[in-house]
């Protein structure tokens, strides 16, 4: 059962300074303070799957710290996400940093448990490896899901050094496992050098469409969002956001930066244009704070998670209203 309690919402920043106390996402209550939530925000401190700079294990907490400045009303979506639904911070999923297979299993089991309570998941931090167990868990509940994958990279490569579970391979594994709805898969923000042209051929065979970073620049966020929304329809949707979808100027704190990316404004606008989609869970990954400056990356990531949470809360509230009317 998801939460029927009145949403608790964030700590009042006019009474308790927003920089005081331990950080939860957006200063929301902890999950153990409210029992159950409609949206559970969880961190995954894991970066053993990276191919270049490490550090995304610290991403979740950096995003929480940067999220202290978020405010309760989201004018861009005309909604107060934390009043429409119970959103709470479920803390971190503690995973084994020395055994990737075990870490993947732990994330899946923890996600099963949270989704089993009726919550949707807003996952923060970690490297992109964790999208695979999160998608497995979501697909157990909803069947194969539509996927919007915001990233500079395809992440549909096969193996690295023989390893199947890495941050460059989660979506190939997910396609192989049949947990994605291959009618509605898109990469958004793709750019940068590849290993060969075959990378694109393989990716297309798996069913992915690509909206490159240059497409977004040329066509604009609204048109791109419209196109994506049409492709998704009312399918259950998972959004996975690798913060390196942003240009390094907008997100320097990440492990595999690529020049020529979208701005944080473009990303936020595309997400706002996806309001109304049946967003069942989402992640924001690859925030590596050691390479960040002045919290540029974690601020962008916190606003990204805020827009995603707003989409979920609005939908939860609308579904509740529909159910009451019946």
Ligand X SMILES: N=C(N)NCCCC(=O)O
User: What does the DSSP assignment read for 244-257?
Assistant: GGB-TTT--SSSS-
Query: Based on CB atoms, which residue is closest to ligand X, 59 or 81?
Result: 59
Query: Based on CB atoms, which residue is closest to ligand X, 38 or 155?
Result: 155
Neighbours of 240 (CB within 10 A): 27
Least spacing, CB of residue 282 vs ligand X, in Å: 16
Strand 279-285 versus strand 120-124 pairing type: parallel
Whether residue 151 is annotated as binding a ligand: the answer is yes
| Residue whose pair of structure tokens reads 């297979």 in the numeric block | 101
d(CA 266, CA 263): 5
Whether residue 187 is annotated as binding a ligand: the answer is no
Least spacing, CB of residue 152 vs ligand X, in Å: 7
d(CA 252, CA 62): 14
Could you say which of Zn ion, ligand X, none residue 51 binds, taking C-beta under 5 to 8 angstroms by partner kind?
Answer: ligand X
Query: Based on CB atoms, which residue is closest to ligand X, 55 or 255?
Result: 255
d(CA 51, CA 195): 14
Give the tokens for residue 123: 């996952």
Least spacing, CB of residue 243 vs Zn ion, in Å: 8
d(CA 229, CA 278): 10
- Per-residue x/- track, 109-128, Zn ion (CB under 5 A): -------------------x
d(CA 118, CA 39): 9
**Contact residues for ligand X (CB under 6 A)?**
51-52, 128, 153, 155, 167-168, 242, 244, 255-256, 286
Determine the straight-line distance between the first and last CA of the chain, rounded to whole angstroms: 19
Strand partners, 114: none
Q: Binders of Zn ion among 239-258, rule CB under 5 A?
A: 242, 244
Q: Which of 155, 181, 283, 307 binds Zn ion (CB under 5 A)?
A: 155
Whether residue 215 is annotated as binding a ligand: the answer is no
Least spacing, CB of residue 189 vs Zn ion, in Å: 9
Q: State whether residue 280 is helix, strand or coil.
A: strand
Whether residue 47 is annotated as binding a ligand: the answer is no
Whether residue 244 is annotated as binding a ligand: the answer is yes
Query: Based on CB atoms, which residue is closest to ligand X, 8 or 149?
Result: 149
Q: Binders of Zn ion among 250-309, rule CB under 5 A?
A: none
Question: Is 92 among the residues that bind Zn ion (CB under 5 A)?
Answer: no
Closest by Cα among 109, 92, 94 to 22: 92
Interface contacts to Zn ion, rule CB under 5 A: 128, 151-153, 155, 242, 244
Residues making up the binding site for Mn(2+) = 128, 151, 153, 155, 242, 244
């Amino acid at each position: 059962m998801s939460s029927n309690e009145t949403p608790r919402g964030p700590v009042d920043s006019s009474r308790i300074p927003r920089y005081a106390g331990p950080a939860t996402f957006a200063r929301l209550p902890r999950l153990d303070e409210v029992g159950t939530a409609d949206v559970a925000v969880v961190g995954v401190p894991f970066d053993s799957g990276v191919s270049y700079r490490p550090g995304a294990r610290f991403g979740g907490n950096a995003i929480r710290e940067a999220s202290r400045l978020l405010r309760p009303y989201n004018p861009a979506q005309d909604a107060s996400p934390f009043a429409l639904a119970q959103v709470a911070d479920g803390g971190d999923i503690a995973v084994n940093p020395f055994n990737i297979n075990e870490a993947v299993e732990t994330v899946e089991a923890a996600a099963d448990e949270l989704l089993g309570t009726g919550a949707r998941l807003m996952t923060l931090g970690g490297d992109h490896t964790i999208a695979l167990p999160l998608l497995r868990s979501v697909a157990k509940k909803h069947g194969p899901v539509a996927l919007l994958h915001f990233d500079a990279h395809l992440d549909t490569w096969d193996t690295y050094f023989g390893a199947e579970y890495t941050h460059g391979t989660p979506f190939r594994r997910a396609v192989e496992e049949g947990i994605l709805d291959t009618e509605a898969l898109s990469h958004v923000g793709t750019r940068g050098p590849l290993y060969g042209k075959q990378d694109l051929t393989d990716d297309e065979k798996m069913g992915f469409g690509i909206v490159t970073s240059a497409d977004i620049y040329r066509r604009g966020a609204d048109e791109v969002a419209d196109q994506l929304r049409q492709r998704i329809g009312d399918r259950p949707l998972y959004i996975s956001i690798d913060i390196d979808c942003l240009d390094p100027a907008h997100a320097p704190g990440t492990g595999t930066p690529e020049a020529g990316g979208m701005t944080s404004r473009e990303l936020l606008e595309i997400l706002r244009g996806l309001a109304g989609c049946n967003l069942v869970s989402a992640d924001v990954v690859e925030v590596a704070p050691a390479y960040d400056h002045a919290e540029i990356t974690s601020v962008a990531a916190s606003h990204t998670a805020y827009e995603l949470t707003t989409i979920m809360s609005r939908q939860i509230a609308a579904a509740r209203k529909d159910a009451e009317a019946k």
